[in-house]
Chains A and B, each alone.
Chain A
Amino acid sequence: GQNIDQPTEMTATEGAIVQINCTYQTSGFNGLFWYQQHAGEAPTFLSYNVLDGLEEKGRFSSFLSRSKGYSYLLLKELQMKDSASYLCAVIKAAGNKLTFGGGTRVLVKP
C-alpha cells in the first residue's frame, strides 16, 4: 500500500511564507503532484516533480527528495486567496492512479 502524510491544518499571515510538507512511502514511485482545492471547487493542478530538486513557478515552489520520500510545497508572499486545501498526490509507474494525502488546509489571516 501507500502512506502519504501531510499536516491537517496550517495558519499563516498575509505576505508571509508557508511550507507544506508531504511524506510518502510507496513502491514504483513515478512522480508527485500538488493540487490546490478551494472549498466547493475542483482541485487545480499546481506542480509536478519526478526528479529530485526544486521546481519554481511564480509564488509557488515544490521540492522533492526521492531518497527521503519527502516533498514540500512553498507558498511565498501569501495572499488571502491562497486560503485553500493543498493536496499532495503520488503516481506510480503503471497507470494513471493518483493516491492522495489527506490535504492540508491553509488559512491566511490579514
Chain B
Amino acid sequence: KAGVTQTPRYLIKTRGQQVTLSCSPISGHRSVSWYQQTPGQGLQFLFEYFSETQRNKGNFPGRFSGRQFSNSRSEMNVSTLELGDSALYLCASSLVPGNQPQHFGDGTRLSIL
C-alpha cells in the first residue's frame, strides 16, 4: 500500500511569503504529525492531528499552523516566512495516536531566500 505522500518535495520562497505543505497519510491512518528537521536542531515536533482536531502543539510561533480534513489528509501553513524556516518538513502518520509506529513521508524541503 502507498506510503505517506508529501507535496511538494521542494519549495523555494522569499522572506515574508507564506507557504502551504500537504500530507496524505497511509490509507487507514487517522493520526498525522508534523516535524521540522534542521542540521542544528534535529527533528522537532510541530503539531499532531487526529479526527480533524489538533491534539498537541510544539514550541513554534503562531506563524506555524495546520489542519486536518475529514479524509485524514493534513496541511500545514507557515506565514511571514523567515530565513530560519528553511528546513525539511516531515509528516508522519499512524493508525491512531499513542503506542503506534509513526511512518514518515519523504518530506518537503523548504528553502527561504
Contacts and interface: CB of A to CB of B under 8 A. Distances in A.
A11 interface: no
Contact of B104 (A44, A50, A91): A44
Query: By DSSP majority rule, is chain B's interface helix, strand, loop, or mixed?
Result: strand
Nearest to A91: B99
Given A31-B99, A48-B99, A95 B55 contact: yes
B99 A50 contact: yes
A9 to B, nearest CB: 14
Given A41-B106, A43-B90, A97 B48 contact: yes
B107 interface: yes
B42 A45 contact: no
Contacts, number: 64
A61 interface: no
B42 A103 contact: yes
B16 to A, nearest CB: 28
B99 A97 contact: no
Nearest to A93: B98
Contact of A97 (B33, B42, B104): B33
B102 interface: yes
Given A33-B102, A89-B43, A96-B94, 18 more contacts: A42-B4, A42-B90, A42-B104, A43-B104, A45-B103, A48-B101, A94-B56, A95-B56, A95-B98, A96-B50, A96-B98, A96-B100, A98-B43, A98-B45, A98-B102, A100-B35, A100-B43, A103-B43
The 3 A-B residue pairs with the shortest CB-CB distance, nearest first, are A96-B97, A100-B43, A42-B104
